[in-house]
Amino acid sequence: MRVIIKQDYDECAQWAANYVVYKINRFRPTAEKPFVLGLPTGSSPIGMYKELIRLYQAGKVSFENVVTFNMDEYIGLPPAHHESYHFFMHETFFKHINIKPQNINILNGMTTDYEKECNNYEAKIKSYGKINLFIGGVGTDGHIAFNEPGSSLTSRTRVKTLTMETIRSNARFFNNDIDLVPKTALTVGVGTITDAEEVMIIATGNTKAEALKHGIEGSISHMWPISILQMHQHAFIVCDDAATASLRPETIKYFKEIEQRTHG
Ligand code: GLP
């Protein structure tokens, strides 16, 4: 695993956006062979999306032949709801770039047939071969997408019941009213994420410190789904100093030195 430690949120956002641009451009996507990107919502990736929009406007990247799959969506929120992930993605990113609407994939939280929706999503991902780069955030309890602690580490796209910690944490987006936060979601599985060629997790702020400690220094455990990154050949975490607060000083020094020597 690579751990890239930056000073703050903005530096992480810039690094992540530049990496995405580098990967897309190096791939030279075409309509027949598009670059497939897995995308997250939440506050962690907002800075990266802003920077990607800036780089797109500056002519550094095109999303014409990029296909996206979002990680998750709340059950019961229509796409026009301000806190639905459909709305978030459209407002934060998609409406500002040249992605083709038919290349955007987001789970439909309004479906009446969850199983069919989830199976179709998996099948559609497979129809492209694999996701080239899956980007994610991490919850304070170590969840990735909506794979809460206790999720099978080989899980596929399905319905998940959210933990109280996640509901409380996400209440900040719903006027701090826990009752307004949906209690279930559709989410790609841990296995869906780790099937990707590369996985990049963005983690900033000290509320993520415990999750990073368990993910980087702990054992692989379904109680900290982020720890599955240890089993991936090309997984990395882009984090700020604050998010490393619970790591041992030697761990921080190790990853900083390795980055400096190999990518500095
Ligand atoms: C939600 C999302 C996750 C996201 C997490 C962290 O629960 N389903 O995909 O990683 O929140 O969000 P934030 O980036 O706002 O801390």
User: Does residue 157 have a pLDDT over 80?
Assistant: yes
Looking up tokens 């062979």, which residue turns up? Answer: 33
Q: Is 143 a catalytic residue?
A: yes
Strand, coil or helix: 82:
coil
**Which tokens go with 145?**
């997408």
Tokens of residue 130, six digits = 């694999």
Question: Which whole-number Å values give the CA distances from 231 to 138, 195, 202, 228, 236, in the listed order?
Answer: 17, 11, 18, 6, 11
Residue minimizing CA distance to atom 10 of ligand 1: 137
pLDDT value at 264 more than 90: no
Average pLDDT over residues 240-263: 96
Candidate list 143, 214, 222, 240, residue with the active-site label: 143
Q: Is the model's pLDDT at 67 over the cut of 80?
A: yes
Q: Can you give the pLDDT at residue 165? A: 87
Question: Which of 250, 99, 258, 117 is closest to 185 using CA atoms?
Answer: 117
Catalytic residue among 51, 72, 198, 240: 72
Nearest to 1 by CA among 239, 191, 209: 239
As a whole number of angstroms, the distance between CA 258 and CA 169 comes to: 34
Catalytic: which of 51, 73, 117, 148? 148
Helix axes 46-57, 9-27, angle to 10 degrees: 50
Q: Tell whether pTM > 0.75.
A: yes
Q: Where does 101-248 have alpha helices with state H?
A: 114-127, 164-170, 190-194, 209-212
Which residues, judged by CB distance below 6 Å to any ligand atom, belong to the binding site of ligand 1?
A: 40-44, 71-72, 136-139, 145-146, 166, 170
Give yes or no: 214 in active site: no
Q: Residue 249: which pLDDT band, with cuts at 50, 70 and 90?
A: very high
The upper half-sphere exposure of residue 230, i.e. CA atoms within 13 Å in the direction of its Cβ, equals: 17
Structure confidence at residue 251 as a pLDDT band (50, 70, 90): very high
Known active-site residue 148: yes
pLDDT band at 263 (very low <50, low <70, confident <90, very high): confident
Q: Ligand 1, atom 5: nearest CA belongs to which residue?
A: 139
Using alpha carbons, select from 102, 82, 100, 16 the residue that is nearest to residue 54.
16
The closest alpha carbon to 214, from 139, 140, 142, 138, belongs to 142
Q: For 102-124, how does the pLDDT look when each residue is reduced to its tens digit (9 = 90+)?
A: 999 999 999 999 999 999 999 99
pLDDT digits (tens, 9 = 90+) for 21-49: 999 999 999 999 999 999 999 999 999 99
Instruction: Return the ligand 1 atom nearest residue 45 CA.
Output: 14
